[in-house]
Amino acid sequence: MNKLLITGAATAITLTGAAYAQSSVTLYGLIDAGLNYTSNEITATGGGGHSNWQMTSGAIQDSRWGLRGAEDLGAGLKAVFVLENGFELNNGQYTSSNRLFNRQAYVGVSSREYGALTLGRQTDGMVDFVGPLSLTGTEFGGTHFAHPFDIDNLNDSFQINNSVKYMSPDFAGLKLGALYGFSNQAGGFANNRAYSFGLSYIRGPWNFGFGYLQLSSSARTPAQLNANGAVTDTTAASLQNALLTSAVPIGVLADKQRTLGAGVNYSFGPAVAGFVYSQSKITQFFQTNLSVNFQNFEGNFRYALTPVVELSGAYTYSRAGGNGGGGIPHWNQVSAMADYRFSRRTDVYIQGAWQRVSPSGTSPLGVAWINGVSNPSSTTTQVQAAAGLRHRF
């Protein structure tokens, strides 16, 4: 009898070990820190511009750590999850004060044949399909390469809460995706909801991408914002500061924000050339008749000078128009970066950006403001430069 019990226990331990062998949890992360210089930063409302030397975190990519897991359920099906936190290396704080896993938090199932269905806080179609074709959405440009105010979210400034997301498998180079973010409000189904979709197609040296994102809300003031809805980040508040002189989240205090984008990359030898277009239409700020339309045109280039040295650069022309008065302001931005890899995980970089805005009439968008810089310029131009170190684990 004792022999039978011992044999049974040994079998159970063996089976348990086999089950655990089919599951995995991975700790991963990225640390990006360096020294940053910015010209012409204002010090207070109406104050003059001053140079600013800073130690910063995430000049290229936001510092983060996360957990990624999968369990094999058999028949090509897996349970998957991701929990990812963004933080500021220079002071150790979360990038979002009220969220532990502020970048991503989702769970779902994945199939080699049918794709993946996930639920939680996730990225949208602009980030997934157009961002990789723009230097701001990659390790070759990042934060300061973003289009003005990151209005198109290609730099992943905000994620979608309460979202259900589907990503297809690869169909001979074609991938599709769609997402819906619930408002989670009784009697307010469309009050701070989001939906998005996109696709990518890779064939030979060509890489194409398209994305669409729509946000909607019925809030008129920040106090009326549905704080449990799909978009609750305030990382794009700089645009609202410029337009309305009050820090409120972008898109969720308008009736609708419709953003679409498309891009293409072409690889030849050690080089990659690309073009990206995006458009964001924001209608009825505070449920008024104020509407704004942004357009961005980006040309970018990467070149592997040696196996360990990579050069990249981008030029972006942006313009804004609408019925708020003041004509059509437009931006010109030139950005460049040089990167040296010590290893697959560790590299050093230098990068910089120059931006000039040409305001028209009485437009409030009259000063330069490079994305990721603490304060806007006191003039129509601004320069930013950084040298830093990145490590991945």
Does a structural domain hold residue 17?
Answer: no
Does a structural domain hold residue 246?
Answer: yes
Domain that holds residue 249: 25-392
Kindly report, residue by residue over 63-119, the tens digit of the pLDDT.
Answer: 999 999 999 999 999 999 999 999 999 998 888 777 899 999 999 999 999 999 999
- pLDDT above 70 covers a percentage of the chain that reads 83
Please report, for the domain that includes residue 167, its CATH number: 2.40.160.10
Task: Give, as one character, the DSSP assignment of residue 105.
Answer: E
- Listed in sequence order, the residues at least 6 apart from 293 whose beta carbon sits closer than 8 Å to its beta carbon are 279, 280, 281, 282, 320, 321, 322
Strands 64-74 and 23-42: antiparallel
- Listed in sequence order, the residues at least 6 apart from 180 whose beta carbon sits closer than 8 Å to its beta carbon are 163, 164, 165, 193, 194, 195
Q: What is the mean pLDDT of residues 32-56?
A: 86
pLDDT at site 225:
77
pLDDT at site 73:
95
pLDDT at site 292:
84
Q: What is the mean pLDDT of residues 353-370?
A: 81
Residue 361 banded pLDDT, cuts 50, 70, 90: low
Does a structural domain hold residue 118?
Answer: yes
pLDDT at site 327:
62
Residue 322 banded pLDDT, cuts 50, 70, 90: confident
Q: Which residue has the higher pLDDT, 210 or 4?
A: 210
Does a structural domain hold residue 58?
Answer: yes
Domain count for the chain, please give it: 1
pLDDT at site 285:
63
Say if residue 251 is exposed, middle or buried (CB neighbours under 10 Å; 0-12, 13-18, 19+).
buried
Kindly report, residue by residue over 121-168, the tens digit of the pLDDT.
Answer: 999 999 999 999 999 999 999 999 999 989 999 999 999 999 999 999
Query: Using an 8 Å Cβ cutoff, are 320 and 365 in contact?
Result: yes
Q: Could you identify the residue written with the tokens 């239409």?
A: 281
**How far apart are the two ends of the chain, measured CA to CA in Å?**
50
Q: Average pLDDT, whole number, for the chain?
A: 87
Does a structural domain hold residue 201?
Answer: yes
pLDDT at site 232:
83
Residue 220 banded pLDDT, cuts 50, 70, 90: low
Does a structural domain hold residue 252?
Answer: yes
* Calpha distance 313→2 (Å, rounded): 73
pLDDT at 18 over 70: no
* Calpha distance 280→318 (Å, rounded): 11
pLDDT at site 27:
98
> Which DSSP string do the residues of 360-386 spell out, in sequence order?
-TT-S--S---TT-SS-BSSSEEEEEE
Does a structural domain hold residue 2?
Answer: no
> Which DSSP string do the residues of 293-315 spell out, in sequence order?
EEEEEEEEEEEESSSSEEEEEEE
pLDDT at site 306:
97
